[in-house]
Structure 1
Amino acid sequence: MKKIYLSTLLTLLLISTCYIPTLFAQSVGMPDGAIARLGKGHLFDLQYSPDGTRLAVATSAGVWIYDAITHKELALLTKHTVSIDCIAFSPDGRTLASADEKGFIHLWDTETGKHKRALKNHIGIISIAYSADGSTLATGDRSGTILLRNMWNRGTIKKRIHKGPGYIHSLAFSPQDAILASGNGDGGTISLWDAETGELNATLNRHTSSVYSVAFSPDGKTLVSGSADKTVRLWDVETGELQRAFIKDIDRTRSVSFSPDGSLFAAGDDTGTVHLFHADTGERMHTLKGHTDGVLTTAFSTDLRTMASGSMDGSIRIWEVASGENRHTFAEHYGDFSCFAVSADGRTIVSVGRDRNVCLWDATSGELQKVINRKGVGHVSDIALSSDGKTVVFDGFGGVGLWDTETGTQKKTLKWFTGDLWSVAYSPDGKTIAGGNNTKTLYVWDADTGDQKHVINEHKANVIDVAFSPNSKTIVSGGQDRTVRLWDTETGEQKKVIRIPDGGAFDVAFSPDGKTFATVNYSDKIYLWDVKTGLQKNVLKGHEKHVTAVTFSPDGKMLATGNWRGLESETGIVNILDVRTGRLLQTFAGHVNRVHRVAFVSDGNALASMSDDDGILYLWDVAVE
């Protein structure tokens, strides 16, 4: 293999990132108005460069480039407007191809990091592969179509293969470039195509469900496949005969890969396990455990010393092949931010992701301050921080956990009767916790003892969001029953019922003076209500449609809102409005799809917004002159 250099740009970026905080090493590629990025986005694919010096990771934020030895972040390649599903290095290492669900393929110069060109001809690309000589790039999509492109002629299409129906989950060229293998979603077939003519040579059909991944051995004689039928299979390429099937202790397998010397192959399954096998004997070498959710992608380094695995839990792990030890795990949320909250002084952001860890961030610098590992704890729907910042509370499927932010230990678990909690809030005075769930119930607990104070069943549908008034005396709950309800925190008595004209209340927020609260419900409106009378004070237009999140600025003069783009727009939008006049002050675009939460941080001159559709939390400069 030719040795390559991600030189000029990437070297400069490496030098600079060695001397700045973790967050600002991610500043490249941020949208206009963003001052920081927390998290790296949903992870979909990873690949080592042919010379083994770089690790490329495809995410919803772009393609991250890392030094494969030091694991230092070098660059972020951004051109895609949606998540990047798959990537591939050219055999000479000079080009990186990245493809997305909208059908765009972007080609990057790995020496400079510059964008070379974009190709587009089919929607929903989910698989990509270069031929061994680099002359052909194959892409597969959700409709069952494979395109073969002539990369020596600016990527022009030279053959279109329609396998359909069903996804083309995976593509692989044989080392001799004679065969293109596709792992199909049509019920368990593997197609072997003539790589030049596109004609079907053979069909391998011993799998009983979708084939998610295929890979050739370096000598081209063997093909390994992983399937939803919870098996991994080895095939003789020449005869098409099944050589061996691996069933024991293997779950649904989304990724298989051969080592560069062909002695080993890896299989990553939905239990979060990576299985390493000897290719010649079929004996299991290692069972690598550490991921807490399904493994999406695996890749061996070219020197065979390490292998990388990426998971739906958002983590990337680097394993030592010889010993099976986990040598490195990438820090910060690499998957989605499930939720976040801001401390009362606005200086700390606490977040939870699919990696199940709680992260505390400095809201001013964006630096990661602490990670609380929550092994064995399930999905988190919402999170809140006590006013003194010493306790974080989050809900999930199975309980409400209170954790000490200093020691990282769990203080107590609050239980409820049935259902799943969808929202949780900590009172400003630190005495009470409230939660709403999908059984139409509002729960209220004593924060010190953990005892239930009230169990309220007045809503006629799911309780989507809850919030406390600034003086902690009132709880507001928003439900899918088209009502917002105000409750006395101490007695649990219902103070008011407010009916929303055009839907439920999916996000609620009090003004800093406690006299007003705002609700949004996926329409284009923001409703402002008088807390004392329950009457509607004003209706503001926040977005063209689908307002999903709302919050007041610390001085009460501005409202921040987020939206869901639906199918018409490229990004989720964050707007800043004047509360009194409803005038639009600022607009920020950058999230992929729905903005789930917004909150002012620091002194109110910055705003945090999160989308668990792209797995990123942005900090925006909202200082208005």
Structure 2
Amino acid sequence: MYRNYFTFLIFIAILILCLQNIYAQQENQRFLLPSDAVKRIGKGFLYDLEFSPDGSKLAVATTLGIWIYDTANGNELNLLTGHTQSVISVCFNSDGRILASSSYDDTIRIWDMNTGKFIRKLSGHRSNVYTVAFSPDDRIIVSGSRDEMIKFWDIETGNLDKTIVGHVDGVYGLSYSPDGDILASFGVDERINLWNTETGEFINTLIPNYQPILVGSAKIEAITFSPDNTTLLSVNTNGTIREWDVNKLKIINTFETIQSEVYAVKFSPDGKTLAINGPINNENVIQIWDISTGNQIATLNGHIDRVASLEYSSDGNSLASYSYDNSVQIWDVKTGTQTQTITGHNNGIIRSIIYASDGNTVASFNHRGIMQVWDARTYKMISSTKVNFRSFRCVDFSPDGLTYAFGHNNGMIEITNRTSNEETHTIKNAHTTVVSSVAFSDKGSILASGGYDRMVRLWDVSTGRLIDTLAGHEYTVLKVEFSPTRDILVSGGSDGTIYYWDVNTGNPIRTIAAHTDRIENLSFSKTGDILVSSAADDSICLWDVSTGSLLKTITPNRNIYSVEIAPDGNTLASSHLREVRLWNVSTGKLINRVTGHSSAIYSLAFSPDGNTLISSSQDHTMIVRKIKPSNN
């Protein structure tokens, strides 16, 4: 009997542990996803990094909020949300129990790091708050903003203690002297200002040789005080490091790093070394410099793309780096080895999403020239390819997902094979100016292009040769789209006009004065019977393709970023800043509103079966949702 009882207790203990693990996973899903979504791809763009004082946690400011990571294993501990726009800066107090964050929403928020709960919001700035810092005694939070103001806040009460005018065009950085008597600040005006923290009075300005500031000269990237309060270090975007005597207000030491441009830089807490990254030698490598000798003493290798952000731990033994390879690396500075890798913080804004015609894969393309292909069942990345050009204006994928085409600002079109990433064809003078839109036919054999030269052109994808030029638009052509079932091409102009073209003859079928402002989106239903258009006049129109007659007008009364009609033709999705709206096509009535993105939603894509909708946003993430069909 006792054996059975003991066995039962063991079973209960194991069950409790399993339930705790399930609950932890549910909590993880909770802060990753809105309630109606099944998957979020990406954790948002990273703006700032900060170690907790004991080095056990890493706070990451992103477009989604503030991620908290365990530095020992790289696991996500929490996501602090509440800011209504991207978080720009984060800072721990001296014991790590409080975190301050600042945002593009013009506010500062205070968080309890033991519970992860929001404590209070500090409002008063009139523009983006770029930086925050705690005073050494943790009694004051100081903030610097684009509104040119520096504000001092009482941490206990949240009351504003004082405000000083900091810098012309914005305050970018702040640093307290270790004794707390002086605050140093820098801004767009390329000056370092010193302030009395007790009175807020201006002490003086540090300018190299007190020469007039030159427009376009190297800007200040970072500042830090020496532990003995006597000197201040600054580094410019051209890699120049200066050491200032704070009392005598003059430069006592200057040396140049080998970098002609600085992408990321951070002083160690003791001011003895500097971590820096730039284009010289290798933009993926982090260099460590000895400040006293001006010599490079170490290099950290591991990233495969440009390093964008650096942060030392308070003891100087660890360094965190964020790269455009979408990873955060944590380094042991003494040995130069990586101790942890954190992934998922995408650096590119996804501008285009498309399902392959078989529905098995999804292709996405971001503004930095990265094309990623995802498994549509697991949403795991299959491949990621960096394209060799950055001046593209528009992109489209062939229906089978194997070929993609780019239109460029200089009038060039490039057609590329995804599997080899080799350019199949380069058409240098496809248009005389900007190529504004490209689209593949339903079989992928023809590519249509529209340009600022008011022309629509058809290209043979296999040879890259021009098939036909379709002339008729009196203004810029902004969008082109093929019917999925008929030999029809539609094009939309900046004057709100839509042209229907016979692909076989190149002749216009009809012209419609569809909108009162520029056409921004064109989309066919899967059957090709309905055409959806949206424009800068904030209206969505549904058209009968056979007759050209207007079926329905939907007026969301908000800016329209993207529209997409479901394959069954019954549901329409439209994006409006951070919101996706679903409409019944037959009645024009709103079915549902869904949110979850923290920035503008640029692209929408239905799966071929119509059961899934993916949205991509300026917050650098994609959200996957299951959609219930709208029955007419």
TM-score for both structures, normalised by structure 1: 0.85
Amino acid at match of 1:131: S
Give the one of 578, 594, 606 matched to 2:600. 594
> Deviation of residue 479 (structure 1)?
2.2
> Deviation of residue 514 (structure 1)?
0.9
Do 1:510 and 1:552's aligned partners in 2 also have CA atoms closer than 8 Å? yes
Do 1:215 and 1:256's aligned partners in 2 also have CA atoms closer than 8 Å? no
Change over 3 Å in CA distance of 1:442–1:49 after alignment to 2: farther
Change over 3 Å in CA distance of 1:593–1:618 after alignment to 2: same
> Deviation of residue 33 (structure 1)?
2.7
Give the one of 483, 493, 503 matched to 1:489. 503
Q: Map 1:275-286 to 2 at 5 A.
A: 275-285=287-297
Do 1:215 and 1:257's aligned partners in 2 also have CA atoms closer than 8 Å? no
Whether 2:468 is the aligned partner of 1:468: answer no
Whether 2:250 is the aligned partner of 1:241: answer yes
Give the one of 125, 133, 139 matched to 2:137. 133
Whether 2:99 is the aligned partner of 1:86: answer no
Whether 2:56 is the aligned partner of 1:28: answer no
Q: Secondary structure at the match of 1:74?
A: strand
1:546 aligns with 559
Whether 2:519 is the aligned partner of 1:505: answer yes
Amino acid at match of 1:278: D
Deviation track 1:434-458 (CA, whole Å, cap 9, x = no partner) reads 2334443434322223333334454
Give the one of 195, 198, 205 matched to 1:203. 205
Change over 3 Å in CA distance of 1:166–1:500 after alignment to 2: same
Give the one of 555, 558, 582 matched to 2:588. 582
**More divergent stretch after superposition (322-331 vs 122-131):** 322-331
Change over 3 Å in CA distance of 1:266–1:521 after alignment to 2: same
> Deviation of residue 525 (structure 1)?
1.4
- d(CA) in 2 for partners of 1:74, 1:423: 43
Q: Secondary structure at the match of 2:601?
A: coil
Deviation track 1:477-525 (CA, whole Å, cap 9, x = no partner) reads 2221322222333443333322233112110001222122111012231
Q: Map 1:101-500 to 2 at 5 A.
A: 101-123=104-126, 124-151=128-155, 153-185=156-188, 187-206=189-208, 208=214, 210-227=219-236, 231-246=240-255, 250-251=259-260, 253=262, 255-268=264-277, 275-285=287-297, 296-302=308-314, 304=316, 306-310=318-322, 316=328, 318=330, 321=333, 328=341, 330-331=343-344, 333-365=346-378, 367-374=379-386, 376-378=388-390, 380-396=392-408, 400-405=413-418, 407=419, 409-417=421-429, 418-456=432-470, 458-471=472-485, 473-500=487-514
Amino acid at match of 2:77: L
Give the one of 71, 94, 98 matched to 1:95. 98
Deviation track 1:230-263 (CA, whole Å, cap 9, x = no partner) reads 7443323333222344556545557542123433
2:14 aligns with none
- d(CA) in 1 for partners of 2:233, 2:304: 23
- d(CA) in 2 for partners of 1:249, 1:343: 47
Deviation track 1:293-319 (CA, whole Å, cap 9, x = no partner) reads 6x6532123464553334678664556
Point out the structure with max Rg over C-alpha. 2
> Deviation of residue 90 (structure 1)?
1.4
Deviation track 1:133-173 (CA, whole Å, cap 9, x = no partner) reads 3222110111211111222x233222221224320011111
> Deviation of residue 623 (structure 1)?
1.4
Change over 3 Å in CA distance of 1:304–1:392 after alignment to 2: farther
Whether 2:570 is the aligned partner of 1:557: answer yes
Deviation track 1:258-306 (CA, whole Å, cap 9, x = no partner) reads 123433113456896755321111223467796766x653212346455
Q: Secondary structure at the match of 1:596?
A: strand
> Deviation of residue 325 (structure 1)?
7.6
Give the one of 609, 618, 621 matched to 1:616. 621
- d(CA) in 2 for partners of 1:196, 1:12: 54
- d(CA) in 2 for partners of 1:118, 1:12: 37
Amino acid at match of 2:560: V
Q: What percent of counterpart residues are identical?
A: 31
1:43 aligns with 46
Do 1:315 and 1:355's aligned partners in 2 also have CA atoms closer than 8 Å? no
Amino acid at match of 2:222: S
Amino acid at match of 1:234: E
> Deviation of residue 80 (structure 1)?
1.0
Do 1:27 and 1:35's aligned partners in 2 also have CA atoms closer than 8 Å? no
- d(CA) in 2 for partners of 1:204, 1:599: 53
> Deviation of residue 374 (structure 1)?
1.1
- d(CA) in 1 for partners of 2:252, 2:352: 47
- d(CA) in 2 for partners of 1:119, 1:401: 50
1:567 aligns with none
Deviation track 1:331-376 (CA, whole Å, cap 9, x = no partner) reads 46244223222222344321123453222223344x3222323164
Change over 3 Å in CA distance of 1:242–1:12 after alignment to 2: farther
Amino acid at match of 2:382: K
Change over 3 Å in CA distance of 1:623–1:578 after alignment to 2: same
Deviation track 1:36-68 (CA, whole Å, cap 9, x = no partner) reads 222222322122222222222211111122233
Amino acid at match of 1:596: Y
1:605 aligns with 611
Change over 3 Å in CA distance of 1:286–1:472 after alignment to 2: farther
Deviation track 1:388-436 (CA, whole Å, cap 9, x = no partner) reads 333344445575555555x453352432414443333222212122233
Amino acid at match of 1:559: L
Deviation track 1:64-87 (CA, whole Å, cap 9, x = no partner) reads 222334333332211111111211
> Deviation of residue 557 (structure 1)?
0.6
Do 1:233 and 1:242's aligned partners in 2 also have CA atoms closer than 8 Å? yes
Q: Map 1:514-525 to 2 at 5 A.
A: 514-525=528-539
Change over 3 Å in CA distance of 1:353–1:144 after alignment to 2: same
- d(CA) in 1 for partners of 2:276, 2:18: 36
Do 2:495 and 2:516's aligned partners in 1 also have CA atoms closer than 8 Å? no
Q: Secondary structure at the match of 2:386?
A: coil
Q: Secondary structure at the match of 1:547?
A: coil
- d(CA) in 2 for partners of 1:488, 1:227: 59
> Deviation of residue 621 (structure 1)?
3.6
Q: Secondary structure at the match of 2:346?
A: coil
Change over 3 Å in CA distance of 1:618–1:94 after alignment to 2: same
**More divergent stretch after superposition (41-50 vs 321-330):** 321-330
- d(CA) in 1 for partners of 2:134, 2:289: 25
Do 1:337 and 1:610's aligned partners in 2 also have CA atoms closer than 8 Å? yes
Q: Map 1:525-540 to 2 at 5 A.
A: 525-540=539-554
Do 1:383 and 1:394's aligned partners in 2 also have CA atoms closer than 8 Å? yes
- d(CA) in 2 for partners of 1:57, 1:214: 21
Root-mean-square deviation (CA, aligned residues, Å) is 3.4
- d(CA) in 2 for partners of 1:180, 1:230: 23
Gaps of 5+ in 1: 1-10, 565-571
> Deviation of residue 464 (structure 1)?
2.4
**More divergent stretch after superposition (458-467 vs 302-311):** 302-311
Change over 3 Å in CA distance of 1:79–1:452 after alignment to 2: same
- d(CA) in 2 for partners of 1:235, 1:489: 70
- d(CA) in 2 for partners of 1:332, 1:396: 28
- d(CA) in 1 for partners of 2:19, 2:311: 25
Q: Secondary structure at the match of 1:28?
A: helix
Amino acid at match of 1:369: M
Do 1:129 and 1:171's aligned partners in 2 also have CA atoms closer than 8 Å? yes
Gaps of 5+ in 2: 1-16
**More divergent stretch after superposition (260-269 vs 82-91):** 260-269
Change over 3 Å in CA distance of 1:493–1:74 after alignment to 2: farther
